[in-house]
Structure 1
Amino acid sequence: MSRANLRTALAQDMRVGAGNVLPMLLEHGADPDAPRLTFDVDVDGIPAWTPLSLRDLADRVAARADWFARKGIGRRDPVAVFVTSAADVFLTFFALNHLGAIPALMNGSMPVEVAAEFVRRLRGVGVVVDADHAALRDHELGVPVLGDVAETGTGDPAQAPPPYRHHADDPVVITHSSGTTRMPTPVVHSHHSLFAAVRAVRLTEARPHGRVRELSVLPAAHAAGIIVVNQALCNGYELLCLSGQGGPFEHSGEVVLDAIERWRPTGVFGFAVTWAELARFDLTRRDLSSVRNWSSTGDCAHEAHIRKLVAVGSHPVWTPDGVVDVPGSKFIDTLGSTEMGHAAFAISHRLGSDRYDRCVGKPYPFAEVALLDVTTGEEVPVGQVGQCGLKSPTLAPGYWNDSAATYRNRLNGYYLTGDLMYRDEEGYYYHLDRANDAIDLGDGNWLYTALTEERILARCPDVRDCTVLAAARDDGPPVTDVLLVLHEGADPGSDRGEEVRAAVGEAVARTLRRVDVVPDAQLTVGPTGKVRKFLMRQRVLADAPNGR
């Protein structure tokens, strides 16, 4: 079957979903021997950086399915997976879905005490770990440790049960929120919800020109990591999955840049933290010419980081002499979350783009968006700030073992994403902040921390990244601390107070208590690399009586 016909067949076959991509590709006649997934670690004796075909993947998944079946794992059994490598995450995900079980994927950066509590709350049937996370065995989990994930590849592929036949609403994976405000919350995704965007967009959009090789620096245990793997497999793209996520405490940006130079991808997927980390380097000194697209999800990316990326790489141009690559790449910025299942908004930037200031573009065709006044439930007018409400086939059905949290975030049939946004007359949406980070300053003025960070970065060229912490107090006016991370070579002793005040505006400037230069390590981050503002705000409040 041709690649175009295969994509159409997969999009139209409603049996296909997030839980059965591998067997359905083979059933539809996909080339079993073409290179598909590459990992940066060995896989059952197959050396790292060796491309695995569908045949290889099916064999290695079947071995793991047999191993789990011999442990008594079957339909609807939740199994926690606490491992480091992307290979272990994805092969275990495929194997447990082969049995109709439910993998609960845990970010490997989660502190072990938090991981133990996560497993206890899951109330599953077991957990697998790797050598990096063996300390989990020392905690009371309420379930057995089934074994080390390295053992799972020793099963017999020939003895694996037939693949489970999924229904559209079957749970196929439990991922978790970033944990920036609280304990990471388990989010359940269904067979069709986690595949809906692949079916609606990725299998119907025009295929890029030429060979497609993509690099994923996304956390493998995140919903976005699974979507990228499934869309690459269904489109016949080659995909390299790095273990970790490219943040300052996982990969260094240098590791990501080394991988780009070595593997020559045409596209790179990452979170906003990835681009902030790459921004510390002089990208013109690296060979990034293969990269045509940078694709971001989760939080929207900062203009200062995007401009550095679109200035490198290349893109094809059709000329009378044929297709030629010219300098400059595209940055595809999308806003999404674990609960949204897939980003709901997208915007593209190139050299010369000028629609920034946290513009997240327009909704995807499958997403119905309303900006709501959460007091009345009514939609706010154009230009007014409201909470983002979403109706989408990509939405996660809810939180595992937590109906209260599931229904608390529903209003008038919409899922409340927790994002404060406004829409302009042209239908473009702008993200201002998370609702729990914004502060009402009175007299119609608001302090939006994410928007404030955006404006500081745009105004202060020697600042690589920044975090704005704003806290409301019962006994006085709000206070704001600005933490700056500088580019290498910038003077840490320089007074940037006036520059920051000019960037944030008069109303916000009145709340400023201090502007400090800090190292990366002074920021408290969650498992996905996002700053945990909720925790850091507690320090701001604790210090508030000392004055500004």
Structure 2
Amino acid sequence: MKVWSPDIPKISQEVHFDNRKFYCFEARPNDVYSMFSQSVKRNPDKEALIVGDYRLTWKELEDWVLRVASGLKILGIKSGDRIALLLSNGIEFVVTTFAASTLGIIIVPISTREKQPGIAFVLNQCGANTIVFDAALRDKLPDLHDIPKMKHQIVVGAISDINSFETLLNSTRLEMVEAINEEDVSAILYTSGTTGKPKGAILTHLNIIHSAMHYVHLMKLRDDDRLLGSVPFSHVTGLVALLMTMVRCGGCLIVMEHFKASTFLKIASDEKMTHTLMVPAMYSLCLIQDYLEVYNLTKWRVGVYGGAPMPASVIQSIAEKLPNLVLINAYGATETTSPATLVPPGETENYPTSIGKVVQCGEIIIMDENGNEKPIGESGEICIKGPMVAKGYWEDPAATAENFSNGYWHSGDIGSVDENGYYYIHDRSKDMINRGGYKIYSIEVENVIHLHPAVLEVAVIGRACPVLGERVHAVVYTVEGQQVSSSELAQLCAEQLADNKVPESFTFLKIPLPRNANGKILKRDLNNLLKVQEVK
């Protein structure tokens, strides 16, 4: 059962992506740049983007985009090429993203927290021929001579021997944009893999357009909304829920490079923020030291959260301090181009543990191990279908076949649906840690720790945290007669992994890790063992 307000645009079934049939919005932009261009035409002189001291109107932002697009074309970068973005949140990321969309170039955002091995893997796996990066991040780059298809480096900042972003910006405006098919790839976003190697989720223009439209219509966003965001644009939430959503509604995006509660609330007050999207941990930090009572937040009307449940105590505290604010829980993943479900506005307090109803064009079934749909109220795997679901994984047919079937993406989350169409998550079938909204596959961390010669067995698990939801914890069993310290293992991980994946604590066991009859480590038993140790 899925009932949304009648003012949402009309939908009908269509066929896309090799005979997948699903619902689509009948009236929609054809591609990402068309969506951008529509907002330019509607609101040319309104503020579109604020980053630090920079304040650009839609018309000014378009000028930057078309100049950089012309510069990319002069370099010979063409439709279908992959351009990697190793950039923090800023004007350069926004401009390059939409400049690429004018030419049919595929963007490949990379987290600035990633380390050299991870960056090298992404560049090689996607076949990027161009990278745009912050000068401050140059030391993170692998030897680009080892990236066979790499041709162009573009730096934001001062490095004399490399093409600069400023040079692109000085180009004359692009006269004509490329013709784009809505099923063409717009972005490749890498997500951790169950084998330890990241998988590149293929996001098409059709995917992104529908996700942006879902957010705008279900949250009733308008062109006078002002969104303040600090979630990295390299993450699907930052790219789609923040950037693309504000482009769709034609409002103003105020960008923070990093989140700090007091700074966030000061900017929110000064800029008259109306809307934001954060993980629950960020809302919790805003409640500390009574920050909410210091600033004028009367314009703040929509607060979306996702990535983890919001504690009931936090929901209640925010409702008391900000009675005009509507909290909305959203659930999605990189493979669903962000939202798959949302709690309808005004219903969060009535359904505090629910992830909401499926989005307008989406379909969800709760599936058992044999692929059969489970009845209402019974638990099974959450499987998602719709125009926002990725085509698959870039150059990875095995992973695509494993995770996508009959048009559905298999989430790995165990959940159920009630008689009113509200969905709930009960567990995860995939071995994953949710740290502040970031999904971390345990095996990726375990593979690095196993590199140490003193480590015989290791299991990486999530430990409960009231702020982040879970923190990364490693349980280690060493080779007899050998020792290793937690600081050594943390340093090893820090050299290979993004900082949010590095274990924050370690437990060293004197006995082998518990396993079942098939030899699989019993991580639930480990969690119970650690709880007993804490009680002692």
Q: TM-score range by the shorter chain?
A: 0.7 to 0.9
Secondary structure of the structure 1 residue equivalent to 2:401 = helix
- With over 3 angstroms needed to count, the CA separation of the structure-2 counterparts of 1:360 and 1:13, relative to structure 1, is closer
The answer to whether the Cα contact below 8 Å between 2:286 and 2:292 also exists between their aligned partners in 1 is: no
Identify the residue that residue 61 of structure 1 maps to in structure 2.
Answer: 65
Conserved? CA contact 2:28–2:209, under 8 Å: no
Q: What is the CA distance between 1:301 and its match in structure 2?
A: 3.4
Change (3 A) 1:331 1:69: same
**How many Å separate the matches in 1 of 2:321 and 2:511?**
44
In structure 1, which of residues 414, 422, 427 is the aligned counterpart of residue 421 of structure 2? 427
2:354 is matched by which residue type in structure 1?
C
TM-score by length of 2: 0.72
Q: SS in structure 1 opposite 2:207?
A: coil
Q: Aligned in 2, Cα 1:280/1:30: closer, same or farther, shift over 3 Å?
A: same
Structure 2: runs of 5 or more not aligned:
1-8, 11-24, 158-163, 443-458, 469-489, 514-528
The one-letter code of the counterpart of 1:347 is V
Taking the TM superposition and a 5 Å limit, the aligned residue runs for 1:253-402 are 253-287=261-295, 288-315=297-324, 329-348=325-344, 353-356=349-352, 358-373=353-368, 375-402=369-396
Residue 139 (structure 2) pairs with residue 141 (structure 1): no
* Paired residues of 1:63 and 1:154 also in contact (CA < 8 A): no
Q: Decide whether the 8 Å contact of 1:300 with 1:335 is kept in 2.
A: no
- Give the Cα separation in 1 of the matches to 2:49 and 2:462: 44
User: What are the Cα deviations for residues 307-361 of structure 1, in whole angstroms up to 9, with x where unaligned?
Assistant: 333333342xxxxxxxxxxxxx2111100111111311111576992432x3112
After superposition, residues 164-203 of structure 1 pair within 5 angstroms as 164-177=178-191, 182-199=196-213, 202=216
Distance 1:104 1:481 in 2: 29
Q: Are the structure 2 counterparts of residues 376 and 96 from structure 1 closer, same or farther at C-alpha, using a change threshold of 3 Å?
A: same
* Structure 1 portions without partners, runs of 5+: 1-6, 41-46, 245-250, 316-328, 439-448, 455-466, 470-477, 488-521
Q: How many equivalent residue pairs?
A: 447
Matched residue type, 2:48: R
1:189-268 residue pairs with structure 2 within 5 A? Answer: 189-199=203-213, 202=216, 206=220, 211-227=224-240, 228-244=242-258, 251-268=259-276
Mapped contact 1:116–1:136 kept (Cα < 8 A): no
Q: C-alpha separation between the residues in 2 aligned to 1:167 and 1:125?
A: 22
The Cα RMSD (Å) is 4.2
Question: How far did 1:390 drift?
Answer: 0.7
Matching residue's letter, 1:363: V
Distance 1:530 1:420 in 2: 28
Specify the SS of the correspondent of 2:176. coil
Per-residue deviation, residues 149-195 of structure 1 (Å, max 9, x unmatched): 34224334535251112111111111222679834432221111111
Aligned-residue offset at 1:416: 0.4
Q: 1:51-82 CA deviation, whole Å, 9 max, x = no partner?
A: x1121111111221122122211111101110
Moved over 4 A (4+): 11-15, 178-181, 203-208, 348-352, 478-487, 527-532, 535-548
1:418 is aligned with what amino acid?
A: G
Give CA-to-partner distance per residue, 1:413-469, whole Å, 9 cap, x none: 42101211112233321112321249xxxxxxxxxx98xx99xxxxxxxxxxxx9x9
CA distance in 1, matches of 2:284, 2:414: 22
Letter in 2 for 1:398: G
Amino acid at match of 2:154: G
Q: Which residue of 2 aligns with 1:102?
A: 106
Residue identity over aligned pairs, in percent, reads 20
